[in-house]
Amino acid sequence: MFVPKCKPPQAGELQRLQDFISHSRKLLVLTGAGVSTESGIPDYRSEGVGLYARSPNRPVQYQDFVKDPKIRQRYWARNYVGWPMFGFFLPNRSHKTLADWEKTGRLHWLVTQNVDALHFKAGSGRITELHGSAHRVMCLDCDYCLSRCEMQDLIAAHNRHWSATSHEMAPDADVQLTDEQIRGFQVPPCPGCGGRLKPQIVFFGDNVAKSVVEFVHEKLRESDSLLLAGTSLQVYSGYRFAVAASDQCKPIAIVNIGETRADKLATVKVQSKCGDVLPKLTVTKYL
């Protein structure tokens, strides 16, 4: 439903990508929303099927969330309604394939821009969530943390007489609700200090923590090649690593439907679904 139309991979394309993988001893993989669309989670930008093409709904901006109680009320009401579906999506064959690659030792590190935790559910362990995880909640005013499931219970306890429904699904569980539907929703305060609770994800307008960026750069320096899977790299937080790999003269391959910001940097590109490409590649233990 949320995967753009595309052609299946051609034999020649697969062979070039196979050669790329076979020559890599320490592969770094960077994934984006295109890996999770086959699990039923939409992305933002895909032509015709992404959130921006289907809905006027737009993701909340970080500064707005921090400063405005009304914005936090709207966000948490919509997220509360969307979570029962978003929180229980399952990994697809791309997630499982990358987890299997890790077991061979050839996948040195996995970096994901997704906040859905599907790589973890698939069994990946050598992983950095560049933009955090929707499955964790943090307090902006103290060090209190809780799981998103605990947050769901906390919200329910503060809203015993409030309910709303929506049939829309967004990339981060943010669904569309009217002002009338949101009216009366109570945002629970932090159980630790009474402060502001926020998902432990990087909102639009916010920055990835410097320590996380430096860690990924370290893993990239340790690697000998970079595979970009299911990402257009329109957000600089991910694109910077493609630029860094190119500056380090490391080969880059792309599996993505449509154009990416790194097309000019890549030596191999396959414009097909990740689920139609990654499982067809042979990745064996390096001897």
Residue type, position 280, single letter: K
> Which residues are CB-neighbours of 86 under 8 A, at least 6 positions away?
41, 116, 134, 169, 172, 173
In the structure, what pLDDT confidence band is assigned to residue 5 with cuts at 50, 70 and 90? confident
Arithmetic mean of pLDDT, 172-196:
92
43-71 burial, b at 16+ Cβ within 10 Å, e below that, comes to bbbbeebbbeeeeeeebbebebbeeeeee
pLDDT for 272 beyond 90: yes
Task: Give pLDDT, residue 45.
Answer: 54
Kindly report the length of the chain: 287
Best CA proximity match to 236, nearest among 266, 261, 199, 271: 261
For the chain, give every domain's residue range. Answer: 11-280
% the chain with pLDDT above 70: 91
Task: Give pLDDT, residue 62.
Answer: 95
pLDDT for 50 beyond 90: no
Chain segment 192-249, per-residue pLDDT in tens: 999 999 999 999 899 999 999 999 999 999 999 999 999 999 889 999 999 999 999 9
Angle at 98 between CA 83 and CA 220, to 5 degrees: 100
In the structure, what pLDDT confidence band is assigned to residue 34 with cuts at 50, 70 and 90? very high
Mean pLDDT of the chain: 91
In the structure, what pLDDT confidence band is assigned to residue 12 with cuts at 50, 70 and 90? very high
pLDDT for 49 beyond 60: no
Q: Is 131 a catalytic residue?
A: yes
% the chain with pLDDT above 90: 80
Chain segment 129-145, per-residue pLDDT in tens: 999 999 999 999 999 99
Cβ atoms of 145 and 138 within 8 Å: the answer is yes
Top-confidence residue, 53 or 184: 184
pLDDT for 154 beyond 70: yes
Which residues does the annotation place in the binding site for Zn(2+)?
A: 139, 142, 145, 190, 193
Provide the whole-model pTM. 0.92
Arithmetic mean of pLDDT, 69-92:
93
Which residues does the annotation place in the binding site?
A: 32-52, 113-116, 139, 142, 145, 190, 193, 230-232, 256-258, 274
Residue type, position 211, single letter: S
The answer as to CATH 3.40.50.1220 being correct for domain 11-280 is: yes
Angle at 250 between CA 26 and CA 272, to 5 degrees: 80
pLDDT for 259 beyond 90: yes
Alpha carbon of 162 to those of 81, 155, 199: distances in Å?
Answer: 11, 10, 21
Active-site hit among 108, 119, 131, 135: 131
